[in-house]
């Protein structure tokens, strides 16, 4: 049986930290975003809701394999 890896709890912590930092960035910009046209706001929030996912693939790979790339 394999010994439990420290990478998974560390990775979970990093994912939560990423979400927190991204939420603070978007919330900080919300007053500026709120001044924009409704369709521009929609576009910004859709992009902001998708962009934070990009760093997850290498992070999840590292959590599973110990390497940043497959």
Cα separation, 66 vs 68, in Å, equals: 7
Q: Give the CA distances from residue 36 to residues 22, 43, 47, 62, in Å, rounded to whole numbers and listed in that order.
A: 20, 11, 15, 39
49-69 confidence digits (pLDDT tens): 999 898 888 999 888 888 877
Model confidence pTM above 0.85: no
10-62 confidence digits (pLDDT tens): 999 999 999 999 999 999 999 999 999 999 999 999 999 999 898 888 999 88
């Amino acid at each position: 049986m394999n010994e439990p890896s420290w990478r998974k709890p560390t990775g979970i912590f990093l994912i939560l930290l990423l979400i927190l930092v991204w939420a603070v960035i978007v919330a900080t910009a919300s007053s500026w975003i709120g001044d924009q046209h409704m369709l521009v706001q929609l576009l910004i929030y859709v992009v902001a809701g998708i962009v934070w996912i990009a760093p997850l693939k290498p992070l999840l790979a590292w959590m599973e394999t110990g390497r940043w790339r497959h």
